[in-house]
Amino acid sequence: MSPVRALLICCLGIMLYTQAAGAERQVVLVAAATSPLHDLDSLELRKIYLGFPVTRDGKIVRGLRNTEDEDLNRIFLQTIVAMSEKAYRRRLLSLPLRQGIPRPDKYNNPEHLLEALSRDPYSVTYMWKDAADHSADIKTLKVIWQQD
Amino acid sequence: MATGLNTFAARVILIGLVIHAVLLPLLFYGLLHIVKESHEERFVNDVRKYSRFVADAFEMEDAVSNERQAMRLLDSAVLGSGGVYAELLEGETWLRSGLSPPDPADVYAEDFAFGQHGDDIYFLSIPLDIPDRQLLLRMGFDEQPTIEQVKTARQRLTLVLLLYLFVSIIALVLLSTLITQPLRALQTASRNIARGDHSVKLRVDSQLAEIRELATDLESMRRELVGMNASLLEEISERKAADKLREVAENKLRQAQKMETVGVLAGGIAHEFNNILVPIFLYTEQALYDLPAESPLRVHLERVLKSANRAKSLVQQILTFSRQSGPQEFVPVDVKPVVEEALDLLRALLPATVQLHEDLTTVDCWALADRDQIHQLVVNLCSNAYQSLDETGGSIGVILDRCTVDTQFCRDHPNLRVGGYIRLSIHDTGHGIAHGDLDRIFEPFYTTRAVGKGTGLGLSVVHGLAVSHSGDITVESEPGKGTTFHVYLPEIGTGSSIRNPLRTGS
């Protein structure tokens, strides 16, 4: 390989890396690929994660929390439930006591999260768009956050 | 003495300060952290909820289709929240509130925590859920009021903790004073007791039970100490008195043994001497009888006889002193007539320069005695008194009375017993007796007179007579002023009440 070609390859690699690093990151709302769910507006989504019942086809839609990384958790708190972490924690603590509603399950392992989604077609969760694109068992319902 | 950091108060204050120095910073930063976290958490919660509320308003009222209405909503969002920035963004186009800063582009970094980018503004962006639109609501909120609140909380917390520290130090000082004040009172009282002031009572008015109990225990110890001290002093006093008595008794015993030894020796010599005198008397009287009346040798023989009589008298005195002059029979005797008889004899012998005063007004002075020996005792003492006077004369006083001897007097004179005694006192105004001689004047052959002027037997004979009558003799003398002898004879009552049997002296 000539030095010129090697230099060109390196420049191309650097360009591709820079593009990838500067690409927009998105958080998307997903459900199982077989789920009958098509869309949930922001208010419904907030209701689901705050413990208020949202039904589709007479079934309650369940929200699963993805806690695999801290950034995802922060975006969830700021964009979906619009609360501070402590306020949301207090809210979760009062759920079973005041309303008899189970708390949203938390998953910090993506595989377990996907298994839970596949088990219940009326369940939704959120994840990085990159991760959602790599799984054929789920479908993206909407973008809930994107980086500037 | 406790000084500096060794005092209880200093230690209490020091320990209190050390504890506060350790705990107060921890408390301060702990409380400050809680306050700070609480304010920040509330701020984040509020701005998120408010932003969501504004986003919901845009989504529900379809305000985005009307730019004027959208602008009003954005302005309202900025004004209603104390926010600093609000805009709607769709691709490259944007609609910004007129109340926002002119160019906030450099602070577009989205925050997920309070003070995340150090710009004092909390930015967040929320995608609006409007069909067929890619709208983004961006809002910025000033973090400065919350930062100021935390600063104010820090200042107030500092003031409160400083006030607490001040109050704690005051409390520590008061506490240490409360504890040490009664302890110091106890200490002062203890020192007074140690100095010998046992009257100080160890009592404190303390609210602390331990100190009250300590004072009570120390007071009990003080009382025991006082009691022990008193008994110890009494014991020492008794022991000293006993030692003194023992010393007197030992001296008297030594004196008695000495006089007994001398008496035995003198008695033996006197007996032998008496045996020698017998042929002198016999042959001298025989020679006088055989010699003619005009013989010049009679004078010599009469001198021999005279000297032999003097020798016989001396031997008699020695035997009297040594009490070997035969068995003595004591009978009830009224001493007063005997004394008067002896004084009558003496008065005739005394020169005119010597005055004899007598006080014999006491009647019925009965004692078990030998009349002749009492007579000899009076004559000896008066002769001794006369001989102590110088050539210019003087006076001799004789008093006969009764007295009662008590325990204390008996201790000093072991020959006597508690009870009634007849006291014969003979006083002279002579040259007196030196103190160094007083202890020896009753020793036989001890005399302060010139050689040939006295035998040293007079007072020892008097002493022997007094003791043989179960009595005693004492002497008081002051050189240059005179001497007084007191002879004590046990009284047996008046003549009609005499019940005592005859007694035989040894």
The Cβ of residue B52 has, within 10 Å, a number of other Cβ atoms equal to 22
Record the tokens describing residue B89, joined without a space.
């963004």
Selecting from A71, A83, A143 the residue whose C-beta is nearest the C-beta of B49 gives A83
What HEC string does A61-116 produce?
CEECEECCCHHHHHHHHHHHHCCCHHHHHHHHHHHHHHHCCCCCCEECCHHHHHHH
Supply the pLDDT for residue A94.
80
Q: What is the DSSP string of A5-26?
A: HHHHHHHHHHHHHHHHHHSPPE
**Closest chain A residue by Cα to residue B50:** A82
Residue A8 has pLDDT above 50, yes or no: no
- Computed on alpha carbons and rounded to an integer, the radius of gyration of chain B in Å comes to 63
Supply the pLDDT for residue B504.
40
Chain B interface, Cβ < 8 Å to A:
41-42, 44-45, 48-49, 51-52, 55-56, 59, 108, 110, 112-113, 124-127, 129, 136
Mean pLDDT of A135-144: 91
Residue A121 has pLDDT above 90, yes or no: yes
Nearest-Cα distance to chain B for A2, in Å, is 43
- Under 8 Å between Cβ of A117 and A57: no
The verdict on a CB contact (< 8 Å) between A84 and B52 is no
Supply the pLDDT for residue A15.
46
Last residue of one domain, picked from the residues B167, B200, B230: B167
Supply the pLDDT for residue B425.
94
| B373: CB partners within 8 A, 6+ apart | B320, B328, B465, B468, B469
Alpha-carbon distance A33 to A88, whole Å? Answer: 29
Supply the pLDDT for residue A19.
42
- Under 8 Å between Cβ of B98 and B120: no
Residues A54-79 have pLDDT tens digits of 999 999 999 999 999 999 999 999 99
For residue B294, with 0-12 CB atoms within 10 Å meaning exposed, 13-18 middle and 19 or more buried, which class applies?
Answer: exposed
Alpha-carbon distance B197 to B203, whole Å? Answer: 15
The Cβ of residue A114 has, within 10 Å, a number of other Cβ atoms equal to 20
Residues B387-446 have pLDDT tens digits of 888 778 899 999 999 999 998 888 788 888 999 999 999 999 998 888 888 878 887 777
The verdict on a CB contact (< 8 Å) between A83 and B59 is no
Selecting from B49, B56, B110 the residue whose C-beta is nearest the C-beta of A148 gives B110
Residue B175 has φ and ψ, to the nearest 5°, of -65, -45
Mutate to test the interface with A, among B125, B128, B130 (most CBs of A within 10 A): B125
The verdict on a CB contact (< 8 Å) between B112 and A78 is yes
Supply the pLDDT for residue B156.
94
Report the DSSP pairing between strands B419-428 and B366-369.
unpaired
Confidence of residue B503 (pLDDT cuts 50, 70, 90): very low
The Cβ of residue B129 has, within 10 Å, a number of other Cβ atoms equal to 22
**Closest chain A residue by Cα to residue B92:** A148
Mean pLDDT of B50-74: 85
Side by side, which strands form the sheet with B328-334?
Answer: B366-369, B328-334, B503-505
Alpha-carbon distance B408 to A76, whole Å? Answer: 117
The verdict on a CB contact (< 8 Å) between B110 and A71 is no
Residues B148-186 have pLDDT tens digits of 999 999 999 999 999 999 999 899 888 888 888 888 888
Confidence of residue B501 (pLDDT cuts 50, 70, 90): very low
Q: What percent of chain B is modeled with pLDDT above 90?
A: 24
Does some domain include residue A40? Answer: yes
Report the DSSP pairing between strands A106-107 and A123-128.
unpaired
Mean pLDDT of A67-96: 90
Q: CA dist B241 to B234, B244, B409, Å?
A: 10, 5, 13
Side by side, which strands form the sheet with A62-63?
Answer: A62-63, A123-128, A26-32, A138-146
Supply the pLDDT for residue B273.
85
Last residue of one domain, picked from the residues B167, B197, B218: B167
Supply the pLDDT for residue A22.
45
Supply the pLDDT for residue B75.
87
Give chain B positions within 8 Å (CB) of A83.
45, 48-49
- Under 8 Å between Cβ of A71 and A90: no
Is this complex's ipTM strictly greater than 0.85?
A: no
The verdict on a CB contact (< 8 Å) between A42 and B56 is yes
Supply the pLDDT for residue B426.
94
The verdict on a CB contact (< 8 Å) between B127 and A77 is no
Residue A128 has pLDDT above 50, yes or no: yes
Mutate to test the interface with B, among A26, A41, A42, A129 (most CBs of B within 10 A): A42
Supply the range of the domain harboring residue A48. 24-146
Mutate to test the interface with A, among B37, B129, B143 (most CBs of A within 10 A): B129
Does some domain include residue B230? Answer: no
Long-range contacts of B452-458 (CB under 8 A, 24+ apart): B454/B387, B455/B314, B455/B317, B457/B314, B457/B317, B457/B318, B457/B321, B458/B380, B458/B383, B458/B384
Alpha-carbon distance B433 to B181, whole Å? Answer: 67
Selecting from B45, B55, B56 the residue whose C-beta is nearest the C-beta of A83 gives B45
- Under 8 Å between Cβ of B88 and B94: yes
Residue B108 has pLDDT above 80, yes or no: no
Q: What is the mean pLDDT of chain B?
A: 84
Mean pLDDT of B197-209: 76
Mutate to test the interface with B, among A29, A146, A148 (most CBs of B within 10 A): A148
Tell me which residue of B159, B133, B149, B144 sits closest to B55, measured CA to CA. B133
Supply the pLDDT for residue B452.
57
Residues B215-249 have pLDDT tens digits of 888 888 888 888 888 899 999 999 999 999 888 88
Does some domain include residue A11? Answer: no
Selecting from A78, A86, A144 the residue whose C-beta is nearest the C-beta of B41 gives A86
| B86: CB partners within 8 A, 6+ apart | B54, B74, B75, B77, B78, B96, B97, B99, B100, B137, B138, B139, B140
The verdict on a CB contact (< 8 Å) between B108 and A148 is yes
Selecting from B41, B52, B136 the residue whose C-beta is nearest the C-beta of A82 gives B52
Does some domain include residue B448? Answer: yes
Supply the pLDDT for residue B457.
76
| Residue A46 touches chain B, beta carbons under 8 Å | yes
Does some domain include residue B229? Answer: no
Q: What percent of chain A is modeled with pLDDT above 90?
A: 58
Mean pLDDT of A37-55: 89
Alpha-carbon distance B32 to B36, whole Å? Answer: 6
Does some domain include residue B146? Answer: yes
Supply the pLDDT for residue A21.
45
Q: Which residue has the tokens 């009958």?
A: A36
Q: How many domains does chain B have?
A: 2
The verdict on a CB contact (< 8 Å) between A84 and B42 is yes
Q: Is B118 left (phi over 0), alpha (psi -120 to 50) or beta?
A: left
Residue B99 DSSP label: T
Burial B418-440 (b: 16+ CB within 10 A, else e): eeebbbbbbbbbbbbbeeeeeee
Mean pLDDT of B112-138: 86
| Residue A11 touches chain B, beta carbons under 8 Å | no
Give chain B positions within 8 Å (CB) of A43.
56, 59
Does some domain include residue B343? Answer: yes
Supply the pLDDT for residue A105.
92
Selecting from A75, A82, A142 the residue whose C-beta is nearest the C-beta of B49 gives A82
Task: Return the H-helix or E-strand segment holding B505.
Answer: strand B503-505
Record the tokens describing residue B331, joined without a space.
């009978």
Residue A139 has pLDDT above 50, yes or no: yes
Report the DSSP pairing between strands B394-405 and B472-478.
unpaired
Does some domain include residue B270? Answer: no
Supply the pLDDT for residue B102.
63
Q: What percent of chain B is modeled with pLDDT above 70?
A: 92
Nearest-Cα distance to chain A for B123, in Å, is 11
Beta partners for residue B150, in sequence order: none
| Residue A75 touches chain B, beta carbons under 8 Å | yes
- Under 8 Å between Cβ of B443 and B298: no
The residue that leads in pLDDT, B449 or A10, is B449
Long-range contacts of B38-41 (CB under 8 A, 24+ apart): B39/B146, B39/B149, B39/B150, B39/B153, B40/B114, B40/B115, B40/B146, B40/B150, B41/A84, B41/A85, B41/A86, B41/A87, B41/B114
Last residue of one domain, picked from the residues B128, B143, B167: B167
| Residue A129 touches chain B, beta carbons under 8 Å | no
| Residue A69 touches chain B, beta carbons under 8 Å | no
The Cβ of residue A87 has, within 10 Å, a number of other Cβ atoms equal to 19
The verdict on a CB contact (< 8 Å) between B112 and A86 is no
Residue B133 has pLDDT above 60, yes or no: yes
Residues B268-323 have pLDDT tens digits of 888 888 888 888 999 999 999 999 988 888 999 998 988 888 888 778 777 776 66
Q: Domain with B369 in it: what CATH number?
A: 3.30.565.10
Least confident of A94-103, B284-293, B294-303, B484-493: A94-103
Q: Domain with A56 in it: what CATH number?
A: 3.40.190.10
Q: How many domains does chain A have?
A: 1
Does some domain include residue B206? Answer: no
Q: Domain with B44 in it: what CATH number?
A: 3.30.450
Q: CA dist B211 to A142, B5, B110, B188, B222, Å?
A: 80, 22, 68, 15, 16
- Under 8 Å between Cβ of B183 and B195: no
Confidence of residue B103 (pLDDT cuts 50, 70, 90): low
Alpha-carbon distance B120 to A45, whole Å? Answer: 31
Supply the range of the domain harboring residue B81. 4-167
Does some domain include residue B188? Answer: no
